[in-house]
C-alpha cells in the first residue's frame, strides 16, 4: 500500500476537477506570461510548462532547458501561480527544486525505466515534493505502480498519477490509446491516489479533448492536465493538440461535473432498487453461463471419443457471424458481444483441452 498525504484538496474545490493548464513547452518568457495571465484569470490553480522535452526524433525541438527554468521562476513570482514541470533525471530534479518549482512530473518515457525512476526518487529524498507519475508508454500497470512505490519509499507521500494513454502500432483516432481499464485498476488498487487525465497526450488532437475530458470526469478522475498555448498552430512541440486559453475556457465550461455520491433519499432508494434487479440478473447470467459450460464439457467428451479436434474453425466462424447479429436485434453493441464471445470461447477451449488431456481413469 502507498503511504499517501492529501495535497490535492488544497488546490481544488470539492466536486470540481483539478485543472493543470499550460504549454507543452516553455518557449520564451512572453509565451509563458501570456498563458499564465490567462490561466490565472480563469481561476486555474496550477500551470504546466515543459522545460526538457523527450522528443522521438533527434532533430525535434527538445525544450529550452535551464534557461526556461529561470523564466518559470520569474513568472511564478509575478503571478503567484503554482508551477509543474517534467523531470527525467537527478539533474532536472536539482534545477527544478532549486528554482522552487512546486510540482514535478515523471514523463511516460521515464516511468518505463526503473533505473531512472530510482535515481529521481533518490534525488527527491527528504523533499516530499508533490510528484505526479505519468503512465508508462506501454500498457503495464505494474511499472506505473512500481514508479509510485519507488518515490513513496523515498519519503514522497504527496503523489498523483497522470493517465496519458499508451502507444500502439495500431492506428486509432487517438495518439495514445486510453485503455481506461488500466487507469481504473490503478484507482481500484489505490483509491486515495489522485488520478489526473491528460486528454492532450491521449488524443493528440485538440478536437477530441472535450470528449476525453468528459469521459475522465464521468469515470470520477480527480483532475485534468490540458496543454494550452497562446498560438497552438505555431507551438514548437505538440502543435495539433494544444488549445488557446479561450478554447480551454470553452472546454471547461462545457464539462458536466457529477457528484460522487448524493444524499437525496429518493435517488438512493431508486439506485438501490435498480442495483437489486441487476444483482438478480447477474445471478441468472452466471447460472446460464454455468449451464452453457456444462454443455461444452459434454461436447468435449464427445469430441474426445470421436478423436475430433477441440477447435472447430467453421463453428467458431458461425458463432462470430450469428452472435453479433443477434446482438444487433437485441439492441446490444455487436462489438461488445464479439468481445464477450471471444472470452467465452477461450474458456470453452480451456475446458475441452483439459478433457482431452485427462488420462482415463484406470479400470479395475
Residue nearest to Mn ion (CB): 24
Please, what is the minimum distance in Å from the beta carbon of residue 178 to Mn ion? 16
Phi, psi torsion values for 359, nearest 5 degrees: -75, 140
- Helices (H) and strands (E) counted in the chain, each on its own, are 13, 8
Alpha-carbon span 207 to 114, nearest angstrom = 35
Written as one string, the DSSP assignment of 319-361 is: HHHHHHHHHHHTT--HHHHHHHHHHHHHHHHHHHHHHHHSPPP
Q: Which CB, 134 or 187, lies closer to ligand PEP? A: 134
Question: Does position 92 bind ligand PEP by CB under 6 A?
Answer: no
The residues, any chain, with a CB within 8 Å of residue 151's CB and separated by 6 or more, are 117, 120, 121, 124, 131, 133, 159
Residues contacting residue 144 through CB under 8 Å, at least 6 positions apart:
111, 133, 135, 136, 161, 182, 186
Phi, psi (rounded to 5 degrees) for 22 = 150, 175
For position 107 contacting ligand PEP by CB under 6 A, the verdict is yes
Shortest spacing between CB 123 and ligand PEP, in angstroms: 18
Q: How far is CA 309 from CA 301, 313, 314, 320, 341, in A?
A: 11, 10, 12, 19, 20
CA proximity to 104, closest of 118, 123, 120, 85: 85
Nearest residue (beta carbon) to ligand PEP: 107
Interaction between residue 108 and ligand PEP (CB under 6 A): yes
Closest approach of ligand PEP to the CB of residue 23, in Å: 9
Considering only 104-112, 182-190, 204-212, 242-250, which stretch makes contact with ligand PEP by CB under 6 A? 104-112
Joined grid coordinates for residue 88 = 527525467
Residues in the interface with ligand PEP (CB under 6 A) total 10
Q: Looking at 105-113, 139-147, 281-289, 340-348, which segment touches ligand PEP (CB under 6 A)?
A: 105-113
Per-residue contact flags (x/-) with ligand PEP for residues 226 to 265, judged by CB under 6 A: ----------------------------------------
Strand partners, 195: 161
Beta carbon nearer to ligand PEP, 48 or 129: 48
Closest CA to 60 of 238, 249, 305: 238
Instruction: Find the shortest distance in angstroms from Cβ 322 to Mn ion.
Output: 46
Least Å distance, CB 201 to ligand PEP, is 4
Stretch that binds ligand PEP, among 90-98, 101-109, 266-274, 284-292 (CB under 6 A): 101-109
Nearer to ligand PEP by C-beta: 134 or 206? Answer: 134
Q: What are phi and psi of 343, to 5 degrees?
A: -70, -45
204 touching ligand PEP, by CB under 6 A = no
Can residue 139 be called a binding residue for ligand PEP (CB under 6 A)? no
Give min distance, CB of 241 to Mn ion, in A: 7
227 contacts 200 by C-beta, under 8 angstroms: yes
Give the nearer residue to ligand PEP in terms of CB position, either 108 or 148.
108
- Residue among 76, 92, 158, 164 that touches ligand PEP (CB under 6 A): 164
Nearer to ligand PEP, 50 or 178 (CB): 50
Which residues of this protein are in contact with Mn ion, per CB under 5 A?
Answer: 24, 238
Residues forming the site for ligand PEP (CB under 6 A)? 24, 50, 54, 86, 107-109, 134, 164, 201
Amino acid at each position: 500500500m502507498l503511504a499517501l498525504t492529501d495535497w490535492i484538496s488544497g488546490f481544488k474545490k470539492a466536486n470540481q476537477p483539478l485543472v493543470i493548464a499550460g504549454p507543452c513547452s516553455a518557449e520564451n518568457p512572453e509565451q509563458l506570461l501570456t498563458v499564465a495571465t490567462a490561466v490565472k484569470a480563469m481561476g486555474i490553480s496550477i500551470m504546466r510548462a515543459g522545460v526538457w522535452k523527450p522528443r522521438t526524433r533527434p532533430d525535434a525541438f527538445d525544450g529550452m532547458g535551464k534557461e526556461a527554468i529561470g523564466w518559470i521562476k520569474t513568472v511564478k513570482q509575478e503571478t503567484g501561480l503554482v508551477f509543474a514541470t517534467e523531470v527525467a533525471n537527478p539533474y532536472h530534479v536539482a534545477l527544478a527544486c532549486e528554482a522552487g518549482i512546486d510540482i514535478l512530473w515523471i514523463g511516460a518515457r521515464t516511468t518505463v525505466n526503473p533505473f531512472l525512476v530510482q535515481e529521481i526518487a533518490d534525488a527527491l529524498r527528504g523533499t516530499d515534493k508533490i510528484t505526479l507519475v505519468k503512465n508508462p508508454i506501454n500498457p503495464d500497470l505494474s511499472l506505473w505502480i512500481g514508479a509510485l512505490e519507488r518515490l513513496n519509499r523515498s519519503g514522497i507521500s504527496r503523489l498523483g498519477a497522470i493517465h496519458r494513454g499508451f502507444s500502439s502500432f495500431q492506428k486509432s483516432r487517438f495518439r495514445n490509446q486510453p485503455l481506461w481499464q488500466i487507469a481504473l485498476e490503478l484507482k481500484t488498487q489505490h483509491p486515495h491516489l489522485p488520478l489526473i487525465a491528460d486528454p492532450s497526450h491521449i488524443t493528440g488532437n485538440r478536437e477530441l479533448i472535450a470528449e476525453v475530458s468528459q469521459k475522465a470526469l464521468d469515470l470520477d478522475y480527480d483532475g485534468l492536465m490540458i496543454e494550452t498555448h497562446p498560438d497552438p498552430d505555431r507551438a514548437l512541440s505538440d502543435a495539433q493538440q494544444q488549445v488557446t486559453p479561450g478554447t480551454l475556457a470553452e472546454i471547461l465550461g462545457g464539462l458536466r461535473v457529477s457528484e460522487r455520491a448524493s444524499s437525496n433519499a429518493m435517488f438512493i432508494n431508486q439506485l438501490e432498487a435498480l442495483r437489486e434487479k441487476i444483482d438478480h440478473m447477474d445471478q441468472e447470467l452466471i447460472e446460464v453461463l454455468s449451464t452453457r459450460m456444462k454443455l461444452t464439457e459434454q461436447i468435449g467428451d464427445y469430441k474426445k471419443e470421436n478423436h475430433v479436434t477441440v477447435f472447430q474453425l467453421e463453428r467458431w466462424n458461425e458463432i462470430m457471424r450469428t452472435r453479433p447479429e443477434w446482438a444487433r436485434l437485441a439492441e446490444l453493441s455487436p462489438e461488445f458481444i464479439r468481445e464477450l464471445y471471444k472470452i467465452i470461447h477461450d474458456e470453452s477451449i480451456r475446458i475441452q483441452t483439459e478433457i482431452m488431456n485427462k488420462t482415463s481413469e484406470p479400470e479395475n
